[in-house]
């Protein structure tokens, strides 16, 4: 199975700050990498697919980059409604695997 790691596991930032999360795959997954947002008590929501493509309706402050084994997810200006846990997920090989998540809150 492909192992996904994320860092940091949690972070606190101020409203308006730029927030960056990294995700690393245990082997080359090309760009088969998605990012999801999960708010407490809610289902996950797809934000970024294929490493860098913004899902329809998702605010442009969210972005993703990377390929191969190293990926980055960025919130350009953190908003209060962005409080959530963010997961990366690879789908290059079955089983689909998720990173452990990064919990983002407001300082």
Partner 1 sequence: EVQLVESGGGLVQPGGSLRLSCAASGFTFSSYWMHWVRQAPGKGLVWVSRINSDGSSTSYADSVKGRFTISRDNAKNTLYLQMNSLRAEDTAVYYCARDRGFTMIVNYWGQGTLVTVSS
DSSP secondary structure letter of residue 104: E
Closer of 30 and 77 to partner 1 (Cβ): 30
Contact segment (CB under 8 A) with partner 1 among 10-18, 19-27, 64-72, 95-103 equals 95-103
Residues 65, 20 contacting (CB under 8 angstroms): no
The nearest distance, CB 14 to partner 1, in angstroms, is 26
Tokens coding 23: 């995700």
Tokens coding 25: 């795959």
- Per CB under 8 A, the list member of 60, 81, 95, 107 interacting with partner 1 is 95
66, containing H or E segment: strand 62-67
Contact between 49 and partner 1 per CB under 8 A: yes
């Amino acid at each position: 199975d492909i192992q996904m790691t994320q860092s940091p596991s949690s972070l606190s930032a101020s409203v308006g700050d730029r927030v960056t999360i990294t995700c690393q795959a245990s082997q080359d997954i090309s760009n088969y990498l998605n990012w999801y947002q999960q708010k407490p008590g809610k289902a996950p929501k797809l934000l970024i697919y294929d490493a860098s493509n913004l899902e329809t309706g998702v605010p442009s402050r969210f972005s993703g980059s990377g390929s191969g084994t190293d990926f980055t997810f960025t919130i350009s200006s953190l908003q209060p409604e962005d409080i959530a846990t963010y997961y990366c997920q690879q789908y290059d090989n079955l089983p689909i695997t998720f990173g452990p998540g990064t919990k983002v809150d407001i300082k």
